[in-house]
Amino acid sequence: MCPHPFPLPKGEGITLPWGAEMHRCLAPLLSNGPAMQDTYVVSFNAPEIASAAQPGQFVMIKCGSGHQPLWRRPLSLHRVNRETGEVALLYALAGQGTRWLSSRRPGETVDVLGPLGHGFELPAERKSLLLVAGGRGIAPLAFLAEEALAQGCPVTLLHGAASASCLSDHATLPDGVRVVEATEDGSRGENGLATQVLPRLLPGKDLVYACGPMGMYRAMASLGLQVPVQVLVETPMACGFGGCYGCAVRTVHGIRLACKDGPCFRLDELMW
């Protein structure tokens, strides 16, 4: 199946079969530059997407001209300003598409489809939250932290990476977040894996949210955490809205699609 039925209307809402609404925008870039090793932050103006976005959702970016590359790239929502319509994405330089994106300059436009997916579920009442980021997994947790703080929830962010060069300077995090860092080589913060530091930070926390590699989730599952844990599953995607079935995830409920049923899942739903 073609991943992008044509023509997709620009600026108008598109209602998906399960009731979610997405928008296609030709969004003007506001900024685009390095954030940490081989990682950039791009921001653009997309009021339609900003007004509907929720933490943990993502957008599909057309990275290239014509049909090269063919597939859009899924990128998590990093920061969203609903008042100004500004949306920021943190992305790795991973291949042809993202390197093309890194060369775009303010004033140019990018073709964006979103918001997509089922994101994090925030508590209805004040809770103490622990956010766990593995490397670039910090991308969606900044938006989550901002929304949680706005609801009066205390937020601690544990950011783990291989070395200091793989940690951001956290300048894009909202004020009020307590940040704890861990590096595998001990070059910054605590020496060790994020999952080794996590148990020490857990007392007093009501909920845990995480974004990182599947290996990190497997290690978290082995800890036997006694609080609810929500995780964002990173998996290859072609369409982003349930058409290609390329992002299948094995869960205790059977096969689910990361783009439609996720990318947020409960940790205890995943099968290893």
pTM of the model: 0.90
Phi, psi of 152 (to 5 degrees): 85, 15
- Model confidence at 5: pLDDT above 50: no
Tokens of 143: 């938006």
180 shares a domain with 104: no
Residue 6's pLDDT is 40
Are 147 and 97 in a shared domain? no
The residues pairing with 229 across neighbouring beta strands, listed in sequence order, are 208
Asked if the structure places residue 4 within a domain, the reply is no
- Give the mean pLDDT of 145-163: 96
Can you give the pLDDT at residue 16? 59
Co-location of 106 and 133 in the same domain = no
65 pLDDT tier (thresholds 50, 70, 90) = confident
More confident residue, 37 or 12: 37
Domain match, 143 and 38 both: no
What pLDDT, on a 0 to 100 scale, did the predictor assign at position 264? 98
Tell me how many domains the chain contains: 2
What gap in Å lies between CA 42 and CA 265, rounded to an integer? 26
Same domain, yes or no: 59 and 187: no
Bridge pairing between strands 207-211 and 229-232 = parallel
pLDDT for 187: 95
Does one domain contain both 88 and 144?
Answer: no
Measured distance CA(193)–CA(200) in Å, rounded: 12
Residue 124 confidence (pLDDT): 92
Cα(100)–Cα(221) distance, rounded to whole angstroms?
37
Residue 18 has pLDDT above 70, yes or no: no
Average pLDDT in the 157-167 region? 93
The mean pLDDT of the chain is 90
Tell me the CA distances in angstroms from 185 to 142, 164, 166, 266, one per residue in order: 24, 8, 11, 30
